[in-house]
Copies of this chain bind each other. A is one copy, B any other.
Amino acid sequence: MREVASLAGVSLKTVSRVVNDEAPVTPAVRERVQRAIEQLDYRHNLAASNLRRRTGRARVLGVLLQDVGNSFSSGVLRALEDACRPHQIALLAASLDEEPDRERVLVNDLVSRRVDGLVIMPATERQDYLAADLRAGLPAVFVDRHPHGIDVDSVTVDNSQGGYDAARHVLAAGHRRIAVLSDLVTIETARLRIEGVKSAVGEFGPDAEVSFHEDLRESDAAERVVGQLMSGDQPPTAVITLRNILSAGALRALREAGAVDSVALVGYDDFPLADLVGLTVIRQNVATIGAEVARLMLSRLEGATDAPRHVVVQHELVERGSGEIRPAD
């Protein structure tokens, strides 16, 4: 910048003015500076600029998701990006993979990098560790899971209601032998979905035999469980998978057992090809979720200091056939 100034025969401050499009600069001078900039391949240093600026933020958000490679996380990221682009806000994204330690390490890193705000799909059970930073004015918005130990903005879906809706759907179709597959019960969303299922069972089928198969992380695990159930004495007439990759495993097992057309299946979370497989699912609107997160965060960045807001995005049950199969008898 100094070189640019001397080449253009002006002061440092004038170059700064040109770079930042600030008001009082004669067109002729501006032109001269621009030429010097190009000639020297000068690049404005945002890091230094942000260091000196008082109010000016760095225009970066830290985004911690479970897995930027899966469709839910990456959908949220994409929606967030679309909402941030007009504001020239960049996104620093990383995956937590349900590892609490990684969450704490990454939050620390992002705070050190002086991000303007944090979007977190937490892997930890409690987030008290964030208290000091929040007090210091760091805006945070939680996605998909509620904050615990602190109170900050959040955008979630009603997982309990989702589990309830899925269960009610198959119970209403007459099913009374139901298998429920779920993720790690240490994950809040998994627990809530299970709760919802139980509450629907209590309401619509207290007589139903419902077996719960928990802590299933991979598609293969779901496939094995359903495979075993289908070859048992009393195979279920309906299966509910409370996480998308479990649906894939269940579907494979049912196909293997020749039961795709006789056993009902309702999944949680949509899939790219789900319509082609005829999979009935509880769909969470990732685009809406991401957009809501952005809305909350942007308002905080603009200085909103009202009480934390908790937005709940509606899900919907998408009927595609697999969930509408009725029990044999």
Residues of chain A whose beta carbon lies under 8 Å from any beta carbon of chain B: 41, 43-48, 50-51, 58, 60, 67-71, 74-75, 77-79, 81, 85, 88, 90-95, 109-114, 132-133, 135-136, 248, 251-252, 255, 271-277
Contacts and interface: CB of A to CB of B under 8 A. Distances in A.
Interface of A, helix, strand, loop or mixed by DSSP = helix
B77 A69 contact: yes
Nearest to A58: B47
Contact of A78 (B46, B50, B69): B69
A46 B114 contact: yes
A163 B300 CA distance: 49
Given A90-B92, A92-B90, A112 B273 contact: no
B273 A43 contact: no
A41 B136 contact: yes
Contacts of A273: 248, 251, 271-274, 276-277
B41 A47 contact: no
28 contacts: A41-B132, A41-B133, A43-B112, A43-B136, A45-B112, A46-B113, A46-B114, A47-B58, A48-B51, A60-B92, A68-B68, A68-B77, A69-B74, A69-B79, A71-B71, A71-B74, A71-B272, A77-B93, A81-B93, A81-B94, A85-B94, A90-B94, A90-B110, A91-B92, A248-B272, A248-B273, A251-B273, A251-B276
